[in-house]
Structure 1
Amino acid sequence: MRLAFMGSPDFSVPALRALHGAGHEIAAVYTQPPRPAGRGQALARCPVHVAAEAMGLAVHHPASLKRDPAAQAAFAALGLDAAVVAAYGLILPQSMLDAPRRGCLNIHASLLPRWRGAGPIQAAVLAGDDETGVTIMQMDAGLDTGAMLLEGAVPIGPHTTAADLHDALSSLGAGLVLRALAENPPPRAQPADGATYAPKLSRADSPLDWNRPAEELDRRVRALTPWPGTTCRLGDDVLKVLEAEPVASAGVPGTVLEGLTIACGTGALRLLRVQRAGRGPVAADAYLRGSPVPAGTALGLV
């Protein structure tokens, strides 16, 4: 089948590799443009760009599609059977949605209509959902509102992190989109109710609010690691909290009970692995050996 692939981050790479490995003709790969990264701010290609070039595929990285009629015309001229979209990052105008013979198929990392939007993996963990999954969706002009073709579910356990789900859903999506192309299942409209939205996260979401219940903060740590991360201030240190667990204890929210166990609005959160700015990750006991923290210490605002 003659395809275009449209994706940018690590999440998208397994699907591209699966499509290429299955013998589909990848006529073009679309990614986000290279952007400055690192201390030197050198232009860096996104993971899909790197993977596509390694496969010898033609890569396009327009800064915009809606404002680029030439890019739209070039896409239509590819004569595609379908386009596969996975976390691409640009909105496709209607002319591009309509151009492939079988339309544009999106690999969305949730069980639609739950968690439409930019951050479905993190949102499922934050909400304490028991499961999430991948939906292969026929794209339309709405925000993740298109008809569903295939679904697959993944459980969320008490220790599941967003990073765990990212890898599981990425692999699941690669397999499901191969099935969708091969089986051409009939589209099913999304349910009229039950839609929820997962907003895009930023560093403004990182500080931990110790007035919240410990179980909620535990989910927050698991959802926001590795990015944008969760943070707190302990003395002169701004700590990134990489791993934690809720425990049955009580005290004034935001104060140290013992070690790195912090009282919350309900219960307490024991920090298990942390990272100072500019340092590597360390276990809590290693941090305490270098920086003892007396009980009763109040954590400050980041």
Structure 2
Amino acid sequence: MAIEIGEYLHAQEGVELLIVLNPDDDGRDRGQALSLSKRAADWGVRTIQPKGLRKPAQIALLADFDPDLILSCSYARIIPQTVIDLGREGCLNIHFADLPKNRGCLPVVWTLALGAPDLVATLHEITPGIDDGPILMQARSPVSPGTTAEIATGICAKLGAGLFKTYFDAWMRGDAPSAVAQDESVVTYHTMVHPYDRYPPVWLNPTRVANTINALTFPPHPAARLNQSDANDELVLRGPAKPVDGYDGGPIGMISKTDDGWIVVCQGGAVLFSALETDDGQPVVTDGPFFTDVTPVPEYAP
């Protein structure tokens, strides 16, 4: 998303960019994690890479640039009020959720795990709080069956890039939309925790189980898991996953190989998912069955 927006802004006449890189951007691409540093060098755009934005020397780097507008694209550090105030006409953020729902960490994960009908990117003003600033614009796309967090993140990135381009064009014309305060009565918020501690909730219905597996499918990030009831080894489940309603092929918690992938039996049916791996990423070569604990654990939703 940052690359698409940066390329767009770099092509605009009369626009000067200063790109603040994430501290871990070492100029190399890693899967979907493309290096903004690498592209900025190709564009010939100035970059800085402070470890944070709180020390006077770090803030001075931005103050000397004297920005009209500041945009955060998944920046990995908290942006303090002293930096927010530097953007004369705004300090904005793109959050991959239908704010005010799913503020905080892992918004795509929670969007999928909770069965939301749409993926949403929200452009909002930055405040010292967490994703609670007034909303400028939103863009959305329906969630298709079997959508994993990896796929959803790519969709949200495209939504976010398009959203900012639309806003910037309007801003340059002098008719940018007004910000609207978020409805605090419907806020949800998540810290860095995963749904059900990453255990597929087989004690619930197939839709909840499939949603959880899909929400946790984005290699190399932590995936859905199970502890075998007769062993100490942990296995990893990966989507795409889809519910199979009315399935009656064994006790709840049983996992076995089928011609179409793997299937886990849950309350009222089963879920078909694509891969079962050992905890070191190796495919499971036997057909099972495996059995997982069916003791409910907290969802971690508010």
TM-score (norm. length: structure 2)? 0.79
CA drift at 1:85: 0.6
The counterpart of 2:153, out of the listed 137, 146, 166, is: 166
The counterpart of 2:8, out of the listed 12, 18, 22, is: 18
Aligned partners of 1:18 and 1:256: how far apart in 2? 48
The counterpart of 1:291, out of the listed 286, 291, 294, is: 286
Give the gaps of 5 or more residues in structure 1.
Answer: 1-10, 37-44, 282-286
Aligned partners of 1:193 and 1:291: how far apart in 2? 50
> 1:115, 1:124 within 8 Å by CA — same for their partners in 2?
yes
- 1:74-116 CA-partner distances (Å, limit 9, x unpaired): 2112111101111101111111101121121111112221211
What's the counterpart of residue 35 of structure 2?
A: 47
SS in 2 for 1:90: coil
Aligned partners of 2:25 and 2:17: how far apart in 1? 24
- 1:205-234 CA-partner distances (Å, limit 9, x unpaired): 333343333221110111111122112345
2:112 counterpart of 1:125: yes
> 2:254, 2:265 within 8 Å by CA — same for their partners in 1?
yes
Amino acid at match of 2:189: Y
SS in 2 for 1:178: helix
- 1:127-151 CA-partner distances (Å, limit 9, x unpaired): 1011131111111111111111111
Aligned partners of 2:46 and 2:195: how far apart in 1? 34
The counterpart of 1:241, out of the listed 230, 234, 237, is: 237
The counterpart of 2:223, out of the listed 219, 229, 238, is: 229
CA 35–147 in structure 1, closer or farther in 2 if over 3 Å, else same: closer
> 1:106, 1:137 within 8 Å by CA — same for their partners in 2?
yes
CA 140–278 in structure 1, closer or farther in 2 if over 3 Å, else same: closer
SS in 2 for 1:77: helix
What's the counterpart of residue 93 of structure 2?
A: 106
> 1:122, 1:162 within 8 Å by CA — same for their partners in 2?
yes
The counterpart of 2:180, out of the listed 175, 188, 194, is: 188
Deviates more, 1:246-255 or 1:138-147: 246-255
2:200 counterpart of 1:208: yes
Aligned partners of 1:80 and 1:258: how far apart in 2? 57
> 1:116, 1:143 within 8 Å by CA — same for their partners in 2?
yes
Amino acid at match of 1:254: G
> 2:256, 2:287 within 8 Å by CA — same for their partners in 1?
no
Aligned partners of 1:54 and 1:28: how far apart in 2? 14
Aligned partners of 1:203 and 1:112: how far apart in 2? 19
> 2:20, 2:49 within 8 Å by CA — same for their partners in 1?
yes
Deviates more, 1:199-208 or 1:100-109: 199-208
CA drift at 1:126: 0.6
Aligned partners of 1:162 and 1:145: how far apart in 2? 23
Percent identical across equivalent pairs? 25
CA drift at 1:69: 1.2
What's the counterpart of residue 71 of structure 1?
A: 58
What's the counterpart of residue 30 of structure 1?
A: 20
CA 217–26 in structure 1, closer or farther in 2 if over 3 Å, else same: farther
Aligned partners of 1:77 and 1:12: how far apart in 2? 22
TM-score (norm. length: structure 1)? 0.79
SS in 1 for 2:123: strand
> 1:203, 1:229 within 8 Å by CA — same for their partners in 2?
no
What's the counterpart of residue 6 of structure 1?
A: none
CA 190–197 in structure 1, closer or farther in 2 if over 3 Å, else same: same
What's the counterpart of residue 93 of structure 1?
A: 80
CA RMSD of aligned residues (A): 2.9
Deviates more, 1:244-253 or 1:85-94: 244-253
